[in-house]
Amino acid sequence: MDTVSDYVVEVEGLGRRFKRTVALEGFSLKIPRGGVFGLVGENGAGKTTLIKHLLGLYKAEQGTVRVFGLDPVQEPEKVLGGIGYLSEDRDLPGWMKVKELMRYTAAFYPKWDPEYAEKLRQVFELDPKAKLRTLSRGQLAKAGLLAALAHRPDLLLLDEPSSGLDPVVRREILSAIIRTVADEGRTVLFSSHLLDEVERVADRVAMIHQGKLVLDAPMEEIKDTHHRMTIRYTNGQTAKPDFPGMLSCQGRGNEWTIVFQGNVNAAKEHLGNGIEILQVESPSLEEIFVARVGRSISIEED
Ligand code: ATP
């Protein structure tokens, strides 16, 4: 008998170009079954391109893509039947009413749960008679979420789910839904520019920069292994410090603030005598991202 993979997603050496633009290059990622996986990267990093490969909308030009152990291009029905997808541009048919969207989507999924769908509609305060084209951006995101969630997919793919939602809905509804899906042993993959939100919700994080994976680790491990340390040279030295694991360094003269990955004691040893440690703190995910890719994520907000 085939063994079911522990990974819902297995991407190996994925490469994709759009004419001269390299969207993904040598990209490998495994997403374990169960839990919340955050995909972070600036505009154009390659997040949506990756998600479209998982949906079988793009065929791998290089490398392989497996979802539930299957090739999404070869076996679209089996793969798509287990996925709930909220697209970045919320491309829902504008002429449909909310209740029609619910009926229409239900027809595609044998596991559609009408009671859950109705509960979500009420929580999202969506008028069943409203035409989708008349909905606000936030309401459209909620309608898209409802359609993605109500068949209780094994893999929920959310491309920028927070975009257009106000902070209360993000914190109290979206985060709660994402956690519930994960607590039921299912998997959520969501892309986001909002690193504080990813930090709050995700169990595991992958950072993409210019089509390449720069970091993939459990959130706890990322938090435990990254440090922000402020030092002062007491020996008259003023050169910018440098040691293995250092990701960024800011300051001048005898005082520097360093973000690094590794062990604090090992870092102190590398820096040698003649320094005073002023502060060691845990950096935010945003600071870690900036330290790794050299710039801040552009926040696309209303
Ligand atoms: P964003 O956060 O802005 O949505 P992203 O990380 O999802 O960005 P992608 O949409 O995957 O990034 O785009 C990766 C790169 O590929 C970008 O440079 C983008 O311009 C390019 N690209 C994506 N889709 C196409 C396409 N259909 N035709 C041409 N170029 C494309």
Is residue 6 domain-resident?
no
Domain stops at, among 183, 210, 237: 210
Domain stops at, among 179, 210, 241: 210
Cα separation of 228 and 272, whole Å? Answer: 18
pLDDT reported for residue 101: 94
pLDDT reported for residue 278: 93
Q: Check if 48 has its Cβ closer than 6 Å to any atom of ligand 1.
A: yes
Taking the centre of ligand 1 as the mean of its atom positions, its distance from the CA of residue 45, in whole angstroms, is 7
pLDDT by residue, tens only, the chain of 302 residues? 444 578 999 999 999 999 999 999 999 999 999 999 999 998 889 999 999 999 999 999 999 999 999 999 999 999 999 999 998 887 888 899 999 999 999 998 989 999 999 999 999 999 999 999 999 888 888 899 999 999 999 999 999 888 888 888 888 778 888 888 899 999 999 998 889 889 999 999 999 999 999 999 999 999 999 999 999 999 888 888 888 899 999 998 889 999 999 999 999 888 888 889 999 999 999 999 999 987 655 544 43
47 and 150 fall within a common domain: yes
Taking the centre of ligand 1 as the mean of its atom positions, its distance from the CA of residue 21, in whole angstroms, is 9
- In angstroms, the Cα distances linking 10 to 17, 46, 70 are 20, 16, 9
User: Whose CA is closest to atom 21 on ligand 1?
Assistant: 23
206 and 226 fall within a common domain: no
Asked if residue 271 lies in contact with residue 240, where contact means CB atoms within 8 angstroms, the answer is: no
Which of 14, 47, 91, 300 should be mutated for ligand 1, with most atoms under 8 A from CB?
47
**Any residues with CB less than 8 A from the CB of 293 and at least 6 apart, and which?**
42, 207, 209, 214
Q: Check if 23 has its Cβ closer than 6 Å to any atom of ligand 1.
A: yes
51 and 149 fall within a common domain: yes
181 and 287 fall within a common domain: no
User: Whose CA is closest to atom 25 on ligand 1?
Assistant: 18
CATH number for the domain spanning 271: value is 3.30.70
226 and 205 fall within a common domain: no
Cα–Cα nearest to 152, from 190, 104, 116: 116
201 and 226 fall within a common domain: no
Q: Which domain holds residue 198?
A: 34-57+75-210
Structurally, the chain folds into a number of domains equal to 2
267 and 183 fall within a common domain: no
Q: Is residue 208 classed exposed, middle or buried when 0-12, 13-18 and 19+ CB atoms within 10 A define those classes?
A: buried
Cα separation of 10 and 54, whole Å? Answer: 9
Domain stops at, among 210, 241, 262: 210
43 and 185 fall within a common domain: yes
Taking the centre of ligand 1 as the mean of its atom positions, its distance from the CA of residue 17, in whole angstroms, is 10
Q: Is residue 298 classed exposed, middle or buried when 0-12, 13-18 and 19+ CB atoms within 10 A define those classes?
A: exposed
Is residue 2 domain-resident?
no
CATH number for the domain spanning 182: value is 3.40.50.300
Is residue 299 domain-resident?
no
Give the number of the atom of ligand 1 that is nearest the alpha carbon of residue 42: 2
Taking the centre of ligand 1 as the mean of its atom positions, its distance from the CA of residue 78, in whole angstroms, is 27
204 and 267 fall within a common domain: no
277 and 181 fall within a common domain: no
Q: Check if 47 has its Cβ closer than 6 Å to any atom of ligand 1.
A: yes
User: Whose CA is closest to atom 29 on ligand 1?
Assistant: 18
Q: Check if 88 has its Cβ closer than 6 Å to any atom of ligand 1.
A: yes
